[in-house]
Structure 1
Amino acid sequence: MALYNYILLVVLFLLIGFLVVSAKQKIIKKDWLRRTVKIITITAIVFITCAVVLFPNLKNIQTTGEYSYTSCVLELSDTSRIEDFKSDGSLRKLSVLVYYPNEDVIANNTCPLIIFSHGGISTKTSNLSLYKELASHGYVVASIDHTYHALITEIDGVKIYIDSGYMRELNEEDSHSDLENSYACFQKWMKLRTGDINFVIDTFIEKSVNESNSFYSLIDADRIGVAGHSLGGSAALGVARQRNDIKAVIALESPYMCDITGINGNEFSWDTSHTSALL
């Protein structure tokens, strides 16, 4: 059994003990507060028990590549775009998590670059095991926090949470009842995300040429891939349509939102010019 499970067992016994003692001695006097604490404690006990029983040997997934790797977090400002979620004219800023092989064991300009876009309600850390695995095989992986689409990110030392308007769009979007609203949402979401991905790719390509003393020098600008999950995968597929330098796409559980060109009656109209390439 993994070490964390022993820690959970200690917490579990402490919670059970607290529950028994508080019930006998009525430590908490107010009825409503006692009931609330009891419900929270029982819920925690159930979750911890399930974790210990269902995942007794849960450990970090070991990488299979030959390279050791490291990571860093960058903050990038896109001088070509204004932040749509703010009204002060400030620039669009992104936090980017980068995993890459250790520079001392791999030659410059030999590492393919993979840009990852997270799901609709997620963060740049959502697929860490994938980033680490790719880095161990000699890839540079950059995962983007799409500011205001990410659950939480940090820019200039300030935490930024997911936008409430964007959350409302996700919750209310339903192509079965309002096709036009769905199309408008898809266009809006894809414009922001493909813009972020293109900006990061262009930045990394430029720096791979101009910076020789950082991980950027590892990047082979002739081997670029894009990847993403759900909404992020849709954006990755869209970027691959927009650029000629994308060599590979990994789209996890992702619809082809960028291929929707409009509405035709009660259905979406699609760009079918790439059908043969897909086959």
Structure 2
Amino acid sequence: MTARPTPDSPFAAKVFPSPNHGERRPLKNTDAPRRPDMLLLHYTDMSDSGQALTRLCDATSEVSAHYFVFENGHILQLVPEARRAWHAGAGVWDNEHDINSASIGIEIAHPGHSRDPATPETMAPYPEEQIAAVIALSRDIITRWNIRADRVLAHSDIAPLRKRDPGEAFPWEALAKAGIGHWAPPAPLQGGRFLSPGESGQPVEALQAMLALYGYGINIDGYYGPETEAVLRAFQRHFRPERIDGIADASTIITLRNLITAR
């Protein structure tokens, strides 16, 4: 009789295997096995958690994650941590382009942002028991793999032009208080000079350089175009969620500066 596989994390109830994974690709110019050094958090963006789980375990979908967290906090492991789950897609962080090989991915059951065009940035809150489970699982993963705080990221951080998850309703501050992820208190909203789409010049270039220094994949070209606006929105969703507008106001710039300094 074949023994049932055991989850890598004691916080996962059982293994519910997905076929969608492969070998972690080694770093360039090396044959050494790749160890994950990044934790990436997602929402499922589906109203039915059962359907979301089915999709992650369907070979034709070609998508998966290492873990799945239900609304009630129940956790399943879908892919072994040593394997390369297909959860991130195209993206970049700190000059790393193969995010799937570098990361462990957690899918959190959540309907995502509103489908109503009148309220596109509206989100339902995450249940407390679900967040407690995410905290326990994340703490276990980052401890075992020695993942740095500033490499616990949102899907939107590594793919700001494509993704919004886990969104501004996700309680990053609560995770930071539990020892998970990098955080600095968001600077208060205030008036004063700000940068906005369409501008160009040295101040925009300096802003882009700061975002790149923190890890965001962004061209430092001095032009505040759609890419820069998308990166600013991703930054705000994670670190200054009070207002998500893609505008580099004083609050956003000060918060970014404080994060760089704190790291």
Query: Shared topology, TM-score over 0.5?
Result: no
In which range does the TM-score fall when normalised by the shorter chain? 0.3 to 0.5
Higher-Rg structure is 1
Higher relative strand content: 1
Q: TM (normalized to structure 1)? A: 0.33
Higher relative helix content: 1
Higher relative contact order (CA 8 A, sep 6+): 2
